C-alpha cells in the first residue's frame, strides 16, 4: 500500500456535443483526443457515470488497447479516472495491450461489469491517424443502443470529472498493484491477466492442427499480424504451441502506427501477404487487423476467400471443431448486408438463420438466449458463442481445423462448397466523406422509389440478363429475445433470381462526412459459371450500373471496391 492516500481531484469542464458513440464506440481523429482539452476525460467520465453508482462501487473492469499511438497516455488517464469513480479493480493487459476478443473473454471469465477498449479497428494509427474508445458490457459484447444513448445524455450536460492525477502504474510490470485512495472506495487494484489463450485451447484440437503444420504433409502458412495487438498471440499459439516456423508469423511486433499502413486485412493493405501467397510457397495465408477481431483468408497462389463465403464455409464444417461436436448447433446469424450464402448452409443443416442489422451488439442477445452458435458480417468479422465479439485468431484456427480434418487446401474446400450449394458473387462498394445532407436525401429519395408499388413490377435488362424485382424495403429488425424494434437499417432490393442490392449509411468511420455503402450480390447455381471474377461486368457491376443515376445526389464519379481498392467503374 502507498504510505499516503492518493487524492481524488474534481476538475471543472464543459460538455461536447459530438460524443455519442456509434457502432464501434467513439471514433475520432487522434489529434482531437490528444489535443482538445478534456475531450478524452469528458468521454471517460460520461462512460463511467452511465453505470449506476451502486453497480460501479468496488466493481471490476477490463482495460485494453490495440497499441496504437496515444494508447499508453489514454490508459493512464482511464486508470486515474476509474479509481476516482469507485471502480475497485482494473484488469489490464501487459503493456496495456489486449485484443478485442481477449477483452470479451476476460469480462465473461471474471464477471467484470464491462471493459474499455482503446482501438479504431482497421483505421490508420499514428499522430495523424484515428483513435477510438469502445465500451463492452457485462456479457462481453459491444454496448447496446440503450447504453450508448445514456453515455450520450451524460456527455451533453457534463460539467466536471473526477480523477486521481497522482496515481501511476507501470504497464510493463506483470502482477498486482494496490493503491489507497482519499475516498470511500478503497483499496484500488490493478491486475494483468491472460485467459484468452486458455479458452482457445478448450475449443480446438490443437494436436490435429499441430500435425497439419508439422507432419509429413506439412502445411506451410503465413500469417500477417499487421503490427497490431495480435502479434504476440499469433507467435504464442501458431509458432510456440502449434509448431509453425518462426517465419510463418510476420509483422508481429505491435507498433503505434502499425508500420505506416492501415491495419486492415484486405487485398489492398495486406498486399505483401498477397504477393507472398501468389508465389506458391505457402498453402494458407491470413491477415489480422489492429485489435484482432477481423481477418482475411488466402489460399495457395493467392486464392482470396470472400468474408461472406468464409462464414458459410465455416458454418458448413463446424463438425470439424470439438467445441461444436460437444455442444451442437443452436443457430446461425448474419448482418443483413452480408451475403445469403450462410442462409443456404442453415437450410441444408436445418438450423435457424437470423438476419440482424449491422453491428455486433445485435448478436449478443441471440447468443445469451442460446439461439445462436455462429455469426458473422461481410466486413471480415466472424465468431461464435465462446465470446461476444468478432474473433480473428479464432477464425484462423477454424480454417486450419477444417483443413486438418478434410485434408484439402483452401481453394478446394471453397470450390467444393460452391459445387454443393451454389456461389453467391458478392462485393461491397464504399463512398466515404459524403456530405451528410446529400447522403440523407439520397437514401430518402431512393426509399421513396423502391417502396412505391410500381417498383415491384420493374425489370432491368443488362446484356442477356433480366433482373426482375421481387421485393424492396427498408430493413427493420425485431429482436426475437426482447421484442426490441430497430428501423431504417438499410435499403434492400431483392430480385427473383435471388440477386440483391443493398444501400446503407455507415457510422463506423472516424473522419468527417457520411459513408455510403452499396452491396451487390448475384447467386449462381451453375458450376460452370463459378470461376468468374467477382467484379465481372455481366454480374455485379451490371446491377450497379443500373443504379448510378442516383449518385448525382452526392457527386460520385468513381466507385472503389472496399476489398481490393480497384476502380470498379468510372461514370
* Residues contacting 212, CB < 8 A, separation 6+: 218, 219, 400, 403, 404
Closest C-alpha to 398, from 388, 412, 389, 410? 410
Q: CA 325, 327, 331, 336: dihedral to nearest 10 degrees?
A: -80
Q: Which one from 121, 143, 155, 192 is the annotated catalytic residue? A: 121
Cell numbers for 57: 462501487
Q: Cell numbers of 464, please? A: 442477356
Tally the C-alpha atoms within 13 A of residue 354's C-alpha that lie toward its C-beta.
26
Alpha carbons 43 and 21: distance in angstroms, whole number? 9
- Secondary structure element (H or E) that encloses residue 55, with its range: helix 53-56
Alpha-carbon gap, residue 171 to 424, rounded angstroms: 47
Burial class (CB in 10 A: 0-12, 13-18, 19+), 279: exposed
The Cα–Cα gap between 99 and 115 comes to 12
Task: Give the helix ranges, DSSP H, for 235-360.
Answer: 271-278, 307-316, 322-327, 341-349
- Dihedral of CA atoms 121, 514, 519, 294 in degrees, nearest 10, equals 0
Judge whether 28 and 130 are in contact, CB under 8 Å. yes
Give the position of cell 486464392.
303
Give the largest CA-CA distance in the chain: 82
Output the nine-digit C-alpha cell for 280.
Answer: 506458391
Give the separation between CA 81 and CA 75, rounded to whole angstroms: 10
Cell representation of residue 507? 457510422
Instruction: Give the separation between CA 397 and CA 518, rounded to whole angstroms.
Output: 31
Residue 304: all three cell numbers together? 482470396
Which grid cell sits at 268?
A: 489492398
Q: Determine whether 121 is an active site residue.
A: yes
CA distance 348 to 99: 34
**CA dist., res. 134 & res. 126, Å (int):** 18
Residues designated catalytic: 121
Amino acid at each position: 500500500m502507498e504510505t499516503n492516500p492518493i487524492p481524488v481531484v474534481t476538475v471543472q469542464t464543459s460538455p461536447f456535443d459530438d460524443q455519442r458513440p456509434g457502432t464501434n464506440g467513439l471514433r475520432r481523429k487522434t489529434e482531437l483526443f490528444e489535443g482538445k482539452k478534456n475531450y478524452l476525460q469528458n468521454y471517460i467520465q460520461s462512460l463511467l457515470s452511465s453505470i449506476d453508482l451502486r453497480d460501479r462501487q468496488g466493481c471490476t473492469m477490463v482495460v485494453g488497447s490495440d497499441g496504437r499511438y496515444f494508447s499508453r497516455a489514454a490508459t493512464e488517464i482511464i486508470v486515474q479516472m476509474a479509481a476516482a469513480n469507485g471502480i475497485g479493480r482494473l484488469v489490464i493487459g501487459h503493456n496495456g495491450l489486449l485484443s478485442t476478443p481477449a477483452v470479451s473473454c476476460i469480462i465473461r471469465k471474471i464477471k467484470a461489469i464491462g471493459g474499455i477498449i482503446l482501438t479504431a479497428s482497421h483505421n490508420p494509427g499514428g499522430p495523424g491517424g484515428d483513435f477510438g474508445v469502445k465500451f463492452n458490457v457485462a456479457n462481453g459484447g459491444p454496448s447496446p443502443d440503450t447504453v450508448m444513448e445514456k453515455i450520450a445524455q451524460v456527455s451533453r450536460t457534463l460539467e466536471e470529472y473526477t480523477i486521481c492525477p497522482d496515481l501511476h502504474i507501470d504497464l510493463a510490470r506483470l502482477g498486482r498493484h494496490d493503491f489507497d485512495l482519499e475516498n470511500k472506495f478503497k483499496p484500488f487494484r490493478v491486475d494483468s491477466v491472460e485467459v484468452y489463450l486458455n479458452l482457445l485451447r478448450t475449443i480446438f484440437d490443437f494436436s490435429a492442427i499441430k500435425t497439419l503444420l508439422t507432419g509429413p504433409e506439412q502445411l506451410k502458412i503465413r500469417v500477417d499480424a499487421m503490427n497490431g495487438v495480435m502479434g504476440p498471440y499469433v507467435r504464442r499459439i501458431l509458432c510456440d504451441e502449434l509448431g509453425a516456423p518462426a517465419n510463418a508469423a510476420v509483422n508481429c511486433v505491435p507498433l503505434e502506427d502499425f508500420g505506416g499502413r492501415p491495419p486492415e486485412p484486405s487485398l489492398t493493405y495486406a498486399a505483401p501477404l498477397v504477393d507472398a501467397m501468389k508465389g506458391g510457397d505457402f498453402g494458407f495465408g491470413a491477415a489480422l487487423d489492429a485489435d484482432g477481431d477481423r481477418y482475411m483468408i488466402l489460399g495457395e497462389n493467392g486464392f482470396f476467400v470472400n468474408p461472406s463465403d468464409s462464414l458459410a464455409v465455416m458454418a458448413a464444417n463446424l463438425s470439424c471443431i470439438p467445441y461444436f461436436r460437444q455442444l451442437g448447433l443452436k443457430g446461425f446469424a448474419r448482418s443483413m448486408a452480408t451475403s445469403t450464402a450462410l442462409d443456404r448452409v442453415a437450410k441444408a443443416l436445418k438450423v435457424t438463420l437470423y438476419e440482424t442489422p449491422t453491428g455486433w451488439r445485435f448478436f449478443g442477445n441471440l447468443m445469451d438466449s442460446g439461439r445462436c452458435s455462429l455469426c458473422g458480417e461481410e466486413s471480415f468479422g466472424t465468431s461464435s458463442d465462446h465470446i461476444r465479439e468478432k474473433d480473428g485468431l479464432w477464425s484462423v484456427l477454424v480454417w486450419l481445423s477444417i483443413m486438418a480434418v478434410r485434408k484439402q487446401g483452401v481453394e478446394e474446400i471453397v470450390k467444393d462448397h460452391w459445387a454443393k450449394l451454389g456461389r453467391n458473387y458478392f462485393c461491397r462498394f464504399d463512398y466515404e466523406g459524403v456530405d451528410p445532407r446529400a447522403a440523407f436525401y439520397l437514401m430518402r429519395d431512393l426509399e421513396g422509389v423502391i417502396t412505391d408499388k410500381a417498383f415491384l413490377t420493374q425489370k432491368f435488362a443488362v446484356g442477356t440478363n433480366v433482373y426482375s424485382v421481387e421485393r424492396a424495403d427498408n430493413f427493420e429488425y425485431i429482436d426475437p429475445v426482447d421484442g426490441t424494434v430497430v428501423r431504417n437499417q438499410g435499403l434492400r432490393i431483392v430480385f427473383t433470381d435471388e440477386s440483391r442490392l443493398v444501400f446503407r449509411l455507415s457510422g463506423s468511420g472516424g473522419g468527417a462526412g457520411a459513408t455510403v455503402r452499396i452491396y451487390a450480390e448475384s447467386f449462381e447455381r451453375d458450376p460452370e459459371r463459378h470461376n468468374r471474377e467477382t467484379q465481372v461486368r455481366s454480374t455485379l457491376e451490371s446491377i450497379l450500373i443500373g443504379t448510378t443515376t442516383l449518385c448525382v445526389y452526392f457527386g460520385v464519379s468513381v466507385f472503389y471496391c472496399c476489398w481490393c481498392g480497384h476502380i470498379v467503374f468510372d461514370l
